[in-house]
Homo-oligomer: A and B are copies of this chain.
Amino acid sequence: MNNKAEAPSLFGVILAGGSGTRFWPLSRLQYPKQVLRLLGTESMLQATIERLLPLIPLERLIVVTNASQEDVIRLELHKKNWEGVKLVIEPLGRNTAAAVGLAAASLPETAEPAVLAVFPADHYIKEQEEFLAALTEGAHWAAQGSVVTFGITPATPETGYGYIQAGAPLDETTTARRGVRFIEKPPLTQAERFLAEGNFYWNSGIFLFRRDVLLEAMASLLPDLYQGLQALQGDPGPAKVTEIYQDLPNISLDHGILEKISDFVVLPVNLGWSDVGTWGALRHLFPQDAQGNVTLGRTVSLENKDCLIYAQDRLVASLGLENMVVVDTPDATLICPLTKIQEVKDIVAELNRQNMTESICHLTVERPWGEYTVIESGPGYKVKAIVVYPGKRLSLQYHNYRAEHWVVVQGTALVTIGKEVTRVHANESVYVPVKTPHRLENQSPENLKIIEVQTGPYLEEDDIIRLNDDFWR
């Protein structure tokens, strides 16, 4: 088969919701794993989309996320000029069955039934050619009515993944095999047996099926979900949507549907795949030193063994650690043995219980025009370092409660304050009084950097009244 030929009825559904807990403190509720640049310069989501584009054009990609992550996902797409991707926003996360169902229901019925290929937004796949070949073959079987799953040929007796047992090949022309059953994360002895026996594959979370096949299965196996999705189609208004969504069954596509279908297809694949599910899994994707350590950023590391040490900003010095993960971000540090890494979610739960914002957002926040970092705050003031990318401008806006002092430290700003428009150069400053419409723009080919000192009784992001904006806000 020709990998490069687009399959005309193939749609990609990318599941990009998440809670931002597993890679805390690098991930946050508003900056989840799928937008992290863990491996290279692209986010996991961007890499997932890039990987599909040879077979599925942007207009047939659907990204499903939830309201608290909408901004950052939209921004990730915007950075690549991928506004053509369809974005489906859940009012809140309700697991993968609901997310896939919502994506399927959002597609119009067509003469040739659509085939949906479902991908997590945050997995790593090394073998691009093999991936596209498998996708083409999977779409072929799905078009004929099968539910298809990618089964990853296991390399180790991994106890952190679910497994799929495969039976006989479908026919002599294909490596695709009949599915026998799904198996939950096994104990080590069982995983070792699976590896030795050879008919067991890791469940990759990648599935293909026809839209009509999925919806029929949903109607019979998850009727509450099916009816909820039907009720959402009539555009019942945001409050009602949230209400309906809250009542949907909180179940994964695997548990709710796939494991209950007797007839499915396993496509064995060797993709160099990793779900990058924990800091420990990430450690295996980086070159290690002779003692098994991965150190990233500004670190001094003496006598450590099998550690992952990541310093995003400041210096992290460590000595005599073994099998430990240390992750340092500008406002929070995590230290934890790799064996306990699954419990990082307990830390995030504790942060939420104590209303600590370190579980929600970072000090540096990306915006479509650039980014800002809160570098200092105290009673009645807040200081930000603001970067505006070349050719970009912030919205025309005003604030009800705060004044702003801007000092340009790099580049030249085109500044609107009230009716006046001036150029402000490095080592010059301007004052933006409270309630005065203003705009900051960078018309130069280089980054503009300013230090903003806000003063006033209320200094939160929701005191921005936008009068005009270049973006979707």
Contacts and interface: CB of A to CB of B under 8 A. Distances in A.
A405 interface: yes
Interface in A302-319: 302-303, 311, 314-319
A455 B431 contact: no
A261 interface: no
A177 interface: no
A380 interface: yes
Interface residues of A, number: 58
A335 B314 contact: no
Contact of A335 (B326, B431, B456): B326
B340 A407 contact: no
22 contacts: A300-B350, A302-B347, A302-B350, A303-B340, A303-B343, A317-B351, A319-B335, A319-B337, A319-B344, A320-B343, A321-B335, A373-B376, A378-B410, A380-B410, A381-B409, A381-B449, A405-B405, A405-B429, A407-B453, A409-B455, A429-B431, A451-B453
A427 interface: yes
A383 interface: yes
A315 B300 contact: no
Contacts of A317: 25, 332-335, 347, 351
Interface in A332-380: 332-337, 339-340, 343-344, 346-347, 350-351, 354, 356, 358, 373, 375-376, 378-380
A258 interface: no
Interface string A25-52: 1000000000000000000000000000
Interface of A: 25, 300, 302-303, 311, 314-321, 324, 326, 328, 330-337, 339-340, 343-344, 346-347, 350-351, 354, 356, 358, 373, 375-376, 378-381, 383, 385, 403, 405, 407, 409-410, 426-427, 429, 431, 449, 451, 453, 455-456
A19 B343 CA distance: 39
A122 B472 CA distance: 60
The 3 A-B pairs with the shortest beta carbon distances in the complex, nearest first, are: A381-B409, A320-B340, A427-B455
A interface secondary structure, majority: strand
A321 B325 CA distance: 11
Contacts of A311: 333
A247 B25 CA distance: 51
Contact of A383 (B300, B333, B339, B375): B375
A346 B302 CA distance: 8
This chain: how many copies in the complex?
Answer: 2
Contacts of A330: 314
A340 B321 CA distance: 10
Given A315-B332, A317-B332, A376-B383, 20 more contacts: A300-B351, A314-B332, A314-B333, A315-B331, A316-B333, A317-B333, A318-B335, A319-B334, A326-B333, A328-B333, A375-B375, A375-B383, A376-B376, A376-B385, A383-B383, A405-B405, A405-B429, A407-B453, A409-B455, A429-B431
Contacts of A375: 375-376, 383
Contacts of A429: 405, 429, 431, 453
A354 B373 CA distance: 28
Nearest to A357: B315
Contacts of A453: 407, 409, 429, 451
A317 B335 CA distance: 6
A140 to B, nearest CB: 47
Nearest to A381: B409
Contacts of A339: 320
A410 B431 contact: no
B358 A336 contact: no
Contacts of A407: 405, 453, 455
B315 A356 contact: yes
Given A375-B383, A409-B455, A319 B347 contact: yes
A166 to B, nearest CB: 37
Contacts of A328: 333
A314 B319 CA distance: 21
Which of A326, A376, A407 is most buried by chain B, counting CB atoms within 10 A of its CB?
A407
Contact of A333 (B25, B324, B333, B456): B333
A310 to B, nearest CB: 11
